[in-house]
Amino acid sequence: MIPLEALPGFAFWGRNLEELLARPEPLWVFGDAGTGVSQTIRQMAQRRGVAFLDDADEASPETLATWIREHAGGILGAHTPPESPSAPAVARFCLALRLWSLEEAPDALQPCLAAIADELGVQPPLPPALGALPCPGGLLGLRNRVLRWKLLGQAPEEAPPQQLPLDTDCMAANLHALERTLLHRAMRRSYGNRTEAAQRLGISRRQLYLLIDRHGDPIRGTRPVAPPPKRLKKRDRPQDSKTPVT
């Protein structure tokens, strides 16, 4: 578990942490997925000596009101701010703390990486690529990077740059090669994590699987199984052999 002091933005929001924890009000800790909400509320609840509730924004208003009434000063974790229209009304009576992302506090990336590596028993030195931004998935994505490094034994290397077949003017051939290059680069940079690769490419997981069927997976070593796109078939189709009328 990453210590509170190593979390992104702690130098800012952690300056008055002890005073914050000494307050009697329930505390609503929120942030985007991957900002460490779950581990933060656990550590805060331990320091405060109270109970904690994760995914509080998914609980019904009645359940949440009952929980807060039964756990005075409890710590609640969520992914939405308390003033959000989708948050239960009772959340507005809590003190709110927003957690930062790695992109907002890049200086926290190396301490978080070291803490995760120590937790998983991964010995340094670590490949620089493990600590590179952007890191889709935040702290969870960072943990997955280290775990894949531990299980694979080495980080996948970048493939050598591929030249597009610009010796031809065929747009279909060039687009097909570019599609393959972008897919394989994203798969390598995400260490085979398909959710992360889809995020890098800005496409859905379904679209990613279609591309993998077409071009193969360089990490798992699978070959293409889908037929080439129709645009390439059209290019390879024999031309009409009729001679023009003069």
Least Cα distance to 53 among 30, 35, 85 occurs for 30
DSSP per-residue letters across 98-153: EPPPTTT-GGGHHHHHHHHHHHHTPPSPPPGGGGPSP-TTHHHHHHHHHHHHHHHS
Torsion of CA 216, 220, 222, 228, to 10 degrees: -10
Which residues fall within 8 angstroms of residue 90, CB to CB, at 6 or more apart? 61, 64, 65, 68
Tell whether the model's pLDDT for residue 120 goes beyond 80. yes
pLDDT (tens digit, 9 = 90+) per residue, 23-82?
999 999 999 888 999 999 999 999 999 999 999 988 888 999 999 999 989 999 999 898
Contact 95, 27 (CB under 8 A): yes
| Per-residue model confidence (pLDDT) at position 136 | 77
* Angle formed by the axes of helices 138-152 and 109-120, nearest 10°: 50
Which has the higher per-residue pLDDT, 222 or 42?
A: 42
Contact 80, 56 (CB under 8 A): no
pTM, to two decimals = 0.65
How deeply is 6 buried, as exposed, middle or buried, from its count of CB atoms within 10 A (0-12, 13-18, 19+)?
middle
Q: What's the half-sphere exposure (Cβ side, CA atoms, 13 Å) at 196? A: 23
Which has the higher per-residue pLDDT, 176 or 66?
A: 66
| Segment among 16-25, 74-83, 169-178 with least mean pLDDT | 169-178
Kindly report the CA angle at 57 between 53 and 63, in degrees rounded to 5? 65
Tell whether the model's pLDDT for residue 95 goes beyond 70. yes
State how far the Cα of 76 lies from the Cα of 91, in Å rounded to an integer. Answer: 9
| Per-residue model confidence (pLDDT) at position 3 | 92
| Per-residue model confidence (pLDDT) at position 244 | 47
Could you state, in order of their start, the residue ranges of all structural domains in the chain? 4-98, 105-155, 158-236
| Per-residue model confidence (pLDDT) at position 178 | 87
| Per-residue model confidence (pLDDT) at position 246 | 42
Task: Using pLDDT thresholds of 50, 70 and 90, give the confidence band for residue 192.
Answer: confident
Task: Using pLDDT thresholds of 50, 70 and 90, give the confidence band for residue 161.
Answer: low
Least Cα distance to 40 among 65, 66, 21 occurs for 21
pLDDT (tens digit, 9 = 90+) per residue, 125-141?
888 888 888 887 789 88
- The 10 Å Cβ neighbour count of residue 192 is 15
Q: Average pLDDT, stretch 79-106? A: 88
State the fold for domain 158-236.
Arc Repressor Mutant, subunit A (1.10.10)
Token pair for 178: 């570019």
Query: Letter for the amino acid at 79?
Result: H
Location of structure tokens 């890191």: 135
Share the mean pLDDT of the chain.
Answer: 84
